[in-house]
Structures are given as C-alpha cells and as structure tokens.
Amino acid sequence: MKNKTSVIPREGEAQPSRCPDNSAFKQQRLPAWKPQLTIASVLSSFFLTGAFCLTVGVCLVLSANSVREIQINYSDKCSDCSKLRENSSNWNKECHCSINFTLKEDILGDVFMYYGLQNFYQNHRRYVKSRSDAQLLGRNVNIQRSYCAPFSTYRNGTPMAPCGAIANSMFNDTIDLFYNYNSSMIQVPLLKTGNSWWTDKNVKFRNPESYNLSSAFAGTARPPYWQKPVYLLDEEDERNNGYVNDDFIIWMRVSAFATFRNLYRRVRHVRRFAEGLPAGNYTFQISYNFPVTRFKGRKHVILSTVVWSGGSNPFLGIAYLVSGTAATLAGFVITGIHLKLRKKKTYFQKQ
C-alpha cells in the first residue's frame, strides 16, 4: 500500500480560510425587496388579473364574431371529379365542377379566399424533413444527399425540381369566383401575388440564376404528382414562377394540425368590387385536381374578412374568458375564507 501524505501547515504559518470574502455580495448584505403577502395584495392581484383577462376576452370574442366568413365544403359536391381523381391513370384528364351560393349581405373591406384541408397530416416527421432548403435557394446541390428521398430523382437519374414530399403533394386545385349579375357571369378579379410572407419571398426562396427560367431548370423534371414544371406555375406572370411562386411558398410552410387553411387569393378592389363583395348570387368554378378521398379528407373554400385580432377564431378570446373567470372566482373564495377565519379569531379573542 502506498502511504498517503497530507500537507501539514508549519508552525507559525496561517491556515487557509474557507470562509467567503467579506463583501456585500458574498455575505448576502445587498439590498433586497421581499414581498409581503397580505390579504389586500393577494385579493387585489386576483381581482385585477381577472378583470384584465375578462376585458381582453370580451374584446377578442366580439372581434372574432364581427368577421364575415363563408365556408363551403366542395369534396362531396364535386363527387364525380373526386371519383375520377382516385384513379391515378386519370392524372392528365381535366375535371371541373361548379358550386352556387348566395351572399345575403355585402362583405365590405378586404376579402380573402382560402382553401382548407381536413384530415391532412403535415406534421409527420419524415414529411416535414422531406425538402432541400439549399435547392429552394437556387443553389446547385446534390439532392441525393438531402432528405428528399424518395422524391429526389427519377430512375434515369433526372433530379426533381423541387424535390421532397412536401413539394410533391402541393395543393393544385384551381378556384375561380364569378358574380351572377343580370343573367350574366362577371369574374371576380383576384390577386395571386403578395399573399406570402416577405421573408419567404425575398429571403428563403430564390430561383437559379439564368437568363430565363426554362434554361435555369434545364436538366430537371417536375415532381411526379405535378401537371406542369415549376417554371410554368404561373403562365400569366413570369415574376411569379419557379421557387418564388406565392402558391408554392405558402404550401411549403407546413401546418401543425391536421385541419388547416392556406391563403389562396385576395379580392382585387376594382370596378364593381371596389368596396368588397356585393350581396347576390355567386359561383365557384373549380378545376378539381387534388385527391382527398383515400385519406378521408375534406376540402373547403373560404371567403373571409380579417379584423385587428385576425380571422374568425374565438379560441383565444374564450381562453382569456376562462382564465379571467377562474381568477375572479379564486378571489371570491379567498375572500370568503378570510372573512370566516377572521370571525373565528375575533370570537376566540372575546372568550
């Protein structure tokens, strides 16, 4: 066994002290504030919190109820097209359906058109990762090393542009809105650009550099479920093509829930629609391309306005109301307990 040696201070030497320095910080002499929980401070905090939450909740609920919204489920109304799309061999066949509806009152202000999907899970881990952000920035990358598989290349080695499961499953129904006026149909002018976030349009998505888009995407092929290549997504506006297409950018921002809606178009305020949508009869003309029957999904088209608190979603207002009610009730319960204990204390003091 080895002998253990210890350091023994010599005679006359001062032993090292393990006490903290004599400073205000280490000796805990800094000025501090300690709240004193009195009955007045506790009750006032509960009642003030309850009043604040109730006020905000009422404002949010009233704001959400003031939103004008029309929602139409067209999955069942376009059943013939739905059956056609379930057969993958009919991918190149067009199918159209019309849906009539009536607006009893004018929808004034900015009117937004959304498409909604139900029971479509975009939050699956492999689905969320199935993309190449470097490719979407217009860089020349080897997508075989990305997470796009199996939607990365074809059997002959041709890369897909864009690659990945998110891009391959892009919503591709075409929805047009018509106003029935004096037995004639007037197409409602809709804006297809300016709907995506500025950071997405100008930072996260870029087209490859070339003198035109067709040459920029030369040597690539469209995803399997697409009907046309990425540089022809908008044949009317060249600036809205490729990876900077608004519909594509909005789809690439995946949803956390199985039921969601994405902004599709905005009503352009011109001529008869300068103030919004007038009351009357309308028709949705839909080019049905996106199948949903196999996963028991539903598709909706929504016309909605927005207010300072957002769209028609009363959840946040209800949450504030519930919190405010709970805080107020807790304040009354504490008040009752305090009065009861004070009476007992007064009784025993008299005895």
Q: What pLDDT sits at residue 38?
A: 87
Question: Span 285-299, mean pLDDT?
Answer: 91
* Number of C-beta neighbours around residue 59 at 10 A: 14
The answer to whether residue 51 scores a pLDDT higher than 60 is: yes
- When mean pLDDT is compared across 21-30, 181-190, 245-254, 327-336, the lowest value belongs to 21-30
List the structure tokens of 96: 């159209």
Going from N- to C-terminal start, the domains of the chain cover 55-316
CA quadruple 85, 265, 311, 273: dihedral, nearest 10: -130
Sheet bearing 190-191, strands edge to edge = 69-73, 298-304, 112-118, 260-267, 190-191
Residue 115, SS3 per DSSP: strand
The whole-angstrom separation of Cα 199 and Cα 136 is 14
Identify the pLDDT of residue 266.
95
User: 305, 110 in Cβ contact below 8 A?
Assistant: yes
pLDDT tens digit sequence for 86-108: 877 777 788 999 999 999 999 99
Assign 347 a pLDDT band (cuts: 50, 70, 90). Answer: low
Instruction: Return the closest-CA partner of residue 115 out of 287, 234, 241.
Output: 287
What's the residue count for the chain? 351
Indicate if the pLDDT at residue 10 is higher than 90. Answer: no
Query: Which pLDDT does position 13 carry in this prediction?
Result: 63
pLDDT of 6 reads 53
% pLDDT > 70, the chain: 93
Place of tokens 């004034």: 108
Residue 247 has pLDDT above 60, yes or no: yes
202 class by beta-carbon count within 10 Å (0-12 exposed, 13-18 middle, 19+ buried): exposed
- Mean pLDDT, residues 39-49: 92
Inter-CA distances, 126 with 86, 90, 156, Å: 24, 28, 24
Average pLDDT score, the chain: 89
CA distances for 71 relative to 117, 233, 251, 280, 288, angstroms: 12, 26, 20, 16, 17
Tokens of 205: 């998505």
User: 3-state class of 176 per DSSP?
Assistant: strand
pLDDT bucket at 312, cuts 50 / 70 / 90: confident
The predicted model gives 3-7 an average pLDDT of 53
Beta-strand (E) ranges in 8-106? Answer: 69-73, 96-103
- State the pLDDT confidence band at 1, using cuts at 50, 70 and 90: very low
- Helix, strand, or coil (residue 197): coil
Beta bridge partners of 139: none
Which of 133, 155, 137 has the alpha carbon at shortest distance from 145?
133
Local confidence band at 14 (pLDDT 50, 70, 90 cut-offs): low
User: What confidence score (pLDDT) does residue 348 get?
Assistant: 58
Render pLDDT for 134-169 as a digit per residue (tens, 0 to 9).
999 999 888 888 899 899 999 998 999 999 999 999
As beta bridge partners, residue 107 has 277
Say if CB 303 and CB 176 are below 8 A apart: no
248 and 167 in contact (C-beta within 8 Å)? yes
